[in-house]
Amino acid sequence: MKMDIHATNFAMTPPLLRHVRSRVTDALAPARASVAGVMVRLRDLNGPKGGVDKRCRIAVWPSRRGSAAAVVNAVDRDLYTAVDAAAAKVREAVRRRRKRRRTLRREYAARRLERQAA
């Protein structure tokens, strides 16, 4: 799984980079085989003014062709908290997509069996 991490309007520190890699890797661990790539964008929206303005955007591309990317955002006063929130959201989004795909596969298989039996 390729991971692309970029920061805008502030300098990326090594501890922050380790935190992002760790949280995103852990969040996507159950779906690692079905993920082709991850893009993480960190941004300070207001610059040095402060406030609730640190955004983390995570986009996950599945390894299957034709599947749409899952994109989540989280905004918080603290960038580490925003990364944690976005990682939790992306874990849930990927889990839902995988569950939906399994359900659809089962429904199609059941329909096929019904047609063959008729």
Helix (H) / strand (E) containing 86: helix 79-117
The model scores a pTM over 0.75: yes
Q: pLDDT tens for residues 6-38?
A: 999 888 999 999 999 999 999 999 888 889 999
Q: What's 74's domain CATH number? A: 3.30.160.100
Q: pLDDT tens for residues 31-89?
A: 888 899 999 999 998 877 766 789 999 999 988 776 788 999 999 999 999 999 999 99
Please count the structural domains in the chain.
Answer: 1
E-state strands within the chain = 2-8, 35-44, 54-62, 70-76
> Looking at residue 14, what is its pLDDT?
96
Q: Answer positive or negative: Cα dihedral of 56, 18, 87, 98.
A: positive
> Looking at residue 7, what is its pLDDT?
94
Between CA 54 and CA 44 the distance in angstroms is: 5
Which residues form the domain of 81? 2-117
